[in-house]
Amino acid sequence: MLRAEGLRHSFGAVRALDEISFTVQPGQTLAIFGPNGAGKTTLLKVLAGLIQPQRGRAEVAGGRRAIGWIGHQPQLYAPLTVRENLRFWASLYGVSVPGELLSRLGLEEHADRPVRALSRGLVQRVAIARALLHDPTVLLLDEPFTGLDRVAAEALSRLLAQHGAAGRATVLVTHNVEEGTGLATHVAFMRAGRFVHFAPRAGRGPQQVGEEYRNAIA
């Protein structure tokens, strides 16, 4: 469903990706942990087709249409309402906005408010809805829990668990070891553009994964 082979990319003298190779199969969720500057965001942008790698290749079954993307920018139009934003993005994919999506993310009462009037957490919820509205088979998520309160974070966790249970793939970058580990079938630790660990989670809990992560990047 998703495959990366020998990805290499530099920004000047800084090697952001250094021979990254991995595969994510249907139903798998890969959680990537790493310090700032490890190359995590660059990797997701390459997978999403937003950056062309200088070497290697990344393939997603179904192409870019199959991808749901959440990055550091919400990709929303601030003057438009929540509903108008979602209808616009849905029109690009030739679909309608799923009726239950707003309620599942707690956005029904905010649907007719302009995005510029929303809190950071609510904007993040709308960005999540935007990424999910076309029912993508692959999700690429860069710190999706940022700004979410407990209720919204739990709702997102449920949506991601359902996404995996439906046989779809997710690559998740997060600093939150507990949330990332709870969703993951596989975990990777990234440092200086490389994976220093990549393995099935295999029953390991957040405490064990966190300890292994700290040891791996020390």
Q: Taking a C-beta distance cutoff of 8 angstroms, is the pair 82, 107 a contact? A: yes
Token reading at 106 = 């707690």
What strand order describes the sheet that includes 14-24? 14-24, 2-11, 55-60
Query: Which amino acid belongs to residue 160?
Result: L
CATH of residue 192's domain is: 3.40.50.300
Helix (H, G, I), strand (E, B) or coil at 101: helix
pLDDT at 177: 87
Q: Between the CA of residue 99 and those of 89, 108, 110, what are the distances in Å?
A: 15, 10, 14
Q: Does some domain include residue 149?
A: yes
Q: What is the pTM of this model?
A: 0.91
Q: Look up residue 203 and give its amino acid.
A: G
Look at the chain and report how many structural domains it folds into: 1
Residue 145: CB atoms within 10 A of its CB come to 18
pLDDT at site 1: 85
Is 87 a domain residue? Answer: no
| Contact residues for 162 (Cβ-Cβ < 8 A; gap 6+) | none
Whole-angstrom Cα Rg for the chain: 17
Strand order in the sheet with 67-70: 67-70, 138-142, 169-173, 29-33, 186-191, 194-200
Pick the closest to residue 196 from 173, 217, 175 (CA basis): 217
pLDDT at 108: 93
The pairing of strands 2-11 and 55-60 is antiparallel
152 domain residue, yes or no: yes
Judge whether 88 lies within some domain.
no
pLDDT at 206: 92
- Give the model's pLDDT for residue 203: 87
Q: Report pLDDT for 190.
A: 96
Where the chain has pLDDT below 50, the residues are none
Which residues constitute the domain of residue 12?
2-72+136-217
Residue 126 lies inside a defined structural domain of this protein: no
| 12: helix, strand or coil | coil
For residue 121, tell me if it sits in a domain: no
Return the pLDDT at 194.
Answer: 96
Q: Is the CB of residue 145 less than 8 Å from the CB of residue 181? A: no
- Backbone torsions φ then ψ of 142, nearest 5 degrees: -105, 105
Cα 82 from Cα 86, distance rounded (Å): 6
Q: Which two tokens stand for residue 111?
A: 């649907």
Residue 67 lies inside a defined structural domain of this protein: yes
